[in-house]
Structure 1
Amino acid sequence: MTDSKKLADLIEDLLPQTQCTKCGYDACRPYAEAIAQDTANYNQCPPGGAQGVERLARLLNRPVIPLNPENGVERPRPVAVIDETLCIGCTLCIQACPVDAIVGAPKQMHTVVKELCTGCDLCVAPCPVDCIAMVAVTGAATGWDAWSQQQADAARLRHDQHLARLARESEAAEARAAARRASTSAASPAASNPDASASATTPDNTAEEKKRAMIQAALERARQKKEAMAAKGLGPQNTASISAEVQAQIDAAEARRQRLGLNDGTLGTPADTPADPEDPVSDPTKR
């Protein structure tokens, strides 16, 4: 382990792990590494506030300096709140959340799990109908007075799980694409060779057919659940008069879901929730 990595580990432990990107980096870990390599200053984390700067200064044996206003201001900790009367179920906020604190499904109501929200604001900008508000929940307390080390540790774990889930989904999508290409290549000689066609039922093919049947069954369960929720009036209430621009954003999100094989079902499933091995929606490796 290099000295730079050791220092990055120590710095990361002092960051609030909101993963808000206000520091100018994609997450808390890259910011910690940049500080350790002396390519970023230690006053760029608004969620940590003045106390956060002081903690880092003490570790680095440097003077305490003001929070850089270009990165934001210290404030009471907020949580995201979704206005259900405006939500159109586009899933863009779910995809933006770095800690999987939003649950929902396409064209279904989304909900923020308050206890998991880090107040990062990242779900606000992608919302095409401005139905997400950031509501302060800590009174006048700001920075580390509004956040605890236990909350920071939990948020870091959830972010790590979030990244791992995305990696699994990407790998699964690549594997499915490779399987489709292989299937297409194998189909050509089989069509011209009766003997090859007769022997096409291999264990791999059988497993693929079983997997396809399981996925179809899961999608049917999701469809039935969706219809049941709609019958109870639990779906989005703001689906009329959607602008062409908003619809384009939704279509783009749906296209990404199609590429990943996410045709239906619930998004934002907490990464530490046990997966249903028969459901490609709850098992990220089958999504």
Structure 2
Amino acid sequence: MAREGLPDHPRLHRQVRPGPAGHGRPGAPQQEEERRLNPIPAEPTGGLVERLTAALPQTQCTRCGYPDCQTYAEAIAEGRAEINQCPPGGAEGVRRLAALTGRPALPLSPEHGLEAPRQLAVIDEDWCIGCTLCIKACPADCIVGAPKQMHLIVAAQCTGCELCIPACPVDCISLVNASGEATGWSAWSAPQADEALQRYRFRQQRIERDKRENDARLQAKAEAKLADLPAASQITDPALLDRKRAMIEAALARARAKRGEA
């Protein structure tokens, strides 16, 4: 279901593609690729990763081919990625990464996107069906709404990552120019990047917390059922009850092992 007459919008988003650890030229042997990239700096990789992460715009757009900005920074620090794979940072972003790594400032990789003015996502309220898929896709948690209710994008918090666009099943999200002719870091600021990173990390922590709490609820429910299985089950055959008890115990053991519990 798509809007009729909806004008085409440039989709610069590049989704993460699974592949080998190296993200260089297709088909290049791993050793040749590592030689092509500059050697890893002698300093501890962790410190370099922190500085590289701070030099990225924190849109978490995945156009670089990695799940988020820090993962891309880690790949650069380990010699697995080029420094020209971040379209939101543009040419200035490449220069910043070059200064940190000692590598030459390459032109922005067209495979990963083009440097362009910063975009803001806008939801057409007449077409929003309240599916919440865009809310789940937003790395900055800047979309508010509830199931079957119209959603709203908080413009001041939108990074222009475009991840909400492919998530929308009715194509009700469009992009508007938010920076005029300014592109790259000229269209974005360090305070905005810091806020975006904080929101992204808070979102990741919330997702992990929600998962832990849900797992704990399911475990408590299973343990309560196991404590008095005959009363909690409609099964009366003792052999079938024993089989069900063994299945529940095995499931609980797997859950504990996954969490690293004894």
TM-score, scaled relative to structure 1: 0.65
Give the alignment partner of residue 85 of structure 1, picking from 108, 120, 126.
126
Equivalent residues in 2 for 1:1-287 (5 A)?
A: 3-188=44-229
What is the DSSP-based 3-state SS (H/G/I as helix, E as strand, rest coil) of the residue aligned with 2:156?
A: coil
Deviation per residue, 1:53-82 (Å, 9 max, x gap): 011111111211100000000010011100
What is the DSSP-based 3-state SS (H/G/I as helix, E as strand, rest coil) of the residue aligned with 1:133?
A: strand
Measure how far apart 1:189 and its partner are.
6.6
Aligned length: 190
* Separation (CA, whole Å) in 2 of partners of 1:32 and 1:145: 21
Match in the other structure for 2:240? none
* Separation (CA, whole Å) in 2 of partners of 1:62 and 1:54: 9
Deviation per residue, 1:88-116 (Å, 9 max, x gap): 00000000000100000000010000011
* Separation (CA, whole Å) in 2 of partners of 1:128 and 1:12: 33
* Separation (CA, whole Å) in 1 of partners of 2:167 and 2:123: 13
Letter in 2 for 1:32: A
Letter in 2 for 1:29: Q
Q: Which runs of 4+ in 1 moved over 4 A?
A: none
Letter in 1 for 2:177: A
TM-score, scaled relative to structure 2: 0.71
Measure how far apart 1:190 and its partner are.
6.9
Measure how far apart 1:188 and its partner are.
3.0
Letter in 1 for 2:155: K
Letter in 2 for 1:93: C
* Separation (CA, whole Å) in 2 of partners of 1:65 and 1:3: 24
Match in the other structure for 1:200? none
CA 1:149–1:178 in structure 2 vs 1: closer, same or farther (change >3 Å)?
Answer: same
Note the aligned Cα RMSD (angstroms): 1.2
Letter in 1 for 2:100: L
Deviation per residue, 1:220-252 (Å, 9 max, x gap): xxxxxxxxxxxxxxxxxxxxxxxxxxxxxxxxx
CA 1:190–1:85 in structure 2 vs 1: closer, same or farther (change >3 Å)?
Answer: closer
Which structure exhibits the higher relative contact order, with contacts defined as CA atoms closer than 8 Å and separated by 6 or more residues? 1
* Separation (CA, whole Å) in 2 of partners of 1:28 and 1:117: 16
Letter in 2 for 1:18: T
* Separation (CA, whole Å) in 1 of partners of 2:45 and 2:99: 17
What is the DSSP-based 3-state SS (H/G/I as helix, E as strand, rest coil) of the residue aligned with 1:20?
A: coil
Residue segments in structure 1 that go unaligned for 5+ positions in a row: 192-287
* Separation (CA, whole Å) in 2 of partners of 1:162 and 1:135: 25
What is the DSSP-based 3-state SS (H/G/I as helix, E as strand, rest coil) of the residue aligned with 1:124?
A: helix
* Separation (CA, whole Å) in 1 of partners of 2:132 and 2:45: 39
